[in-house]
Structures are given as C-alpha cells and as structure tokens.
A = this chain, B = another copy of it.
Amino acid sequence: MSSPGKRESPSSSLQLCRVMLPDDANIMGNVHGGIILKMIEEAGSIVGTRHCNTQNGDRCLAALVRVEKTEFLSPVFIGEVVHVSAVITYTSQHSLEVQVKVIAENILTGEKKLANKAALWYVPCSLQNVDKITEVPPIKYASPEQEEEGRKRYESQKIERLETKARLEEAMPPPPNPERYTVGFSQSSLIHLVGPSDCTLDDFVYGGVTMKLMDEVAGIVAARHCNTNIVTASVDAINFHRKIKKGCVVTVTGRLTFVSNRSMEIEVLVDADPLVEKEKGKYRAVSAFFTFISLDKENKPLNVPPLKIEGEEEQKRFEEGKARYLQNKAKRLAEKERQQ
C-alpha cells in the first residue's frame, strides 16, 4: 500500500491492504470489528515472524501473547480499502511489540480516516520445538528516550500478563426460557472446528482468527440485547494464555456483564477441545471484554436497554464491569485534557 507518510519499509515494518467485501460486514454495511482485528494480527504476525528470522538460529514463528486495549475510532464500510501498517517498536530478549495503524480509504471519494490503533506483543516459538522460545534480534531505536519508553511499556504489560489469569469460571448455560433483557436472554455460544487456513505453519491458530470469532459472538450477544445495528467500540487488553491446535473444536461464549446508557460490555470466553487427543481435556484458551455500541440508520449512537440482573454472580460481574467502565471514562477524560 502507499503507506501514508512513510519511506521504504525496513524488515521491521509492513503494510497490507484489502478491499472490504459484503461478507466482511453486517447487513447495514458496517465492517465487523473482528475483520479489522484479524487484519491487524496478520500484519503483526508477519512482521514479527520476519524480524525473528533475520539472524542465525532456529527458524521460528511469532506467536501472539497479548493485545493491548484497542478502540475502534471510525466505522468502516463495504467497498472501502483498509490499510494496515505495522511496525516493530520494541524488542526484549524474548518478545517484541508491534504497533499497528488501520486507515480506511474510500477509493471513490479519496477520503481517509483512522479506524484503529493497536499494540501487540509476540514471542518467537521455534519451528523445531514449539515449546522453545528463541531470542529476538534487537531493533535500533531513533533515540534513547524511545527505547526507554518501550521498556516501560514492556515492563507494565509483563506485570499485567503475570497478574491476569484467564477467567476460569464456566459460562453456565442460560435457563430454558430467559426473560428479555436478562443476561441469559442474550448469552450466545458458537463452536468452530479449526481448519487448515485458521493456522500458522506450525498448525496453531492465528491469534487474529480467535479474535475474529470472539468479536462475532460478542456482536450476536449485543444484537440480541438491542435488536439494532451494533458495532464494536473497543476491546480490553487480551492475554493469549494457551495456544489452540489444528483440529480442535473452539467454543466461544459471550455474555453481557455491564450495560451503560450507551454501551454494552460483553465478556467472551474461549475454550479449546482437542477432539481426537483423548488425554487432553477442554481448556480455557483466552478470555476478554468487548464493548459494543448501538447505532441508528445514520450511524448515530442509540440508547441501550438496561440489563436485568439476576443473582449475586451477575451482580458481582456487573459491578466489576461498571468499575472498568468508569476507569476507562476517567482515562479518556484525562487524555482529552492533556491534549488541550
């Protein structure tokens, strides 16, 4: 792509682009957030893998271990060209950070808009031995300050990754005839049999494929709650605790945890079940919180129906969700003030 505002890319950066097709969007023409997340991760995985193979040693593949919280800044529509540019912005001994920008271009009007910005962390896994983490070649920084800032991001995500464990609780099946606007009413699960095209060369699922499935189920939950055109507004940081192998059945369950006037928070749990390997049972691979908003026909935000809470568990999750919501709101306000 004609990466806007950049010169020839070294091996540590990459641009990719694709026209958005009808199947990438909902019936209102809004491209699914999951399609964007998948493209972001494809770019990250290529640039990460390419970089980690620039020195001698084992051939390796960069595996996604974490995506920082990311926001969808503008809606993307069918027919637009989505440009994803990825650049490696920090390397530690065994991991690297990729920052990604997503620009949507209307090739009929020439209009461009920033659709998303994301930061992803990868770890190189040896192709010979998938459990071996190889060394990451260092990148060059424009300044010592840049390196120092990267180190800070590295340290803080490391702490968060260590502290955060996958939420292990089961998503209980909803009651037989759930009442409208309850958590059980909109709770949804999808299952997906992992096929060859979902996987990297070493037969593990791309992180982006998992995120696309997560966004899909979260979108169905949101639409069931609102019965309107819903779009992904943001995704909280996701830690990829365990890999998923080709041939697994992946169960992705989404349920509403919190609803504000204008947004819905949906918890998404991903379980992997290696069907033909009896010894290994089903395990929790990832979990994350997605935030969706509801839009009218002019893409203006709509009010969201309140959530009917039933039982202590739901109340506890609602309070936690509210805390995250208020924290994010405060952060956004603080940032706004800083920018003024």
Contacts and interface: CB of A to CB of B under 8 A. Distances in A.
Interface of A: 1-9, 11, 14-19, 21-23, 26-27, 42, 45-46, 49-50, 53-54, 56, 59-61, 78-79, 81, 83, 85, 87, 101, 103, 105, 107-110, 112, 114, 127, 170, 172-174, 176-178, 180, 184-193, 195-197, 200-201, 216-217, 219-220, 223-224, 227-229, 246-247, 249, 273, 275-278
Contact of A60 (B54, B101, B276): B276
Contacts of A188: 1-2, 17, 81, 191, 249
Given A53-B278, A191-B188, A196-B197, A4 B85 contact: yes
B1 A42 contact: no
29 contacts: A1-B190, A3-B15, A3-B85, A4-B114, A5-B101, A11-B110, A16-B190, A19-B46, A19-B216, A21-B196, A22-B195, A26-B193, A46-B81, A46-B191, A46-B193, A46-B249, A50-B105, A56-B278, A59-B108, A59-B109, A59-B278, A107-B223, A107-B227, A108-B227, A172-B176, A193-B219, A195-B197, A223-B275, A224-B275
**Copies of the polypeptide in the assembly:** 3
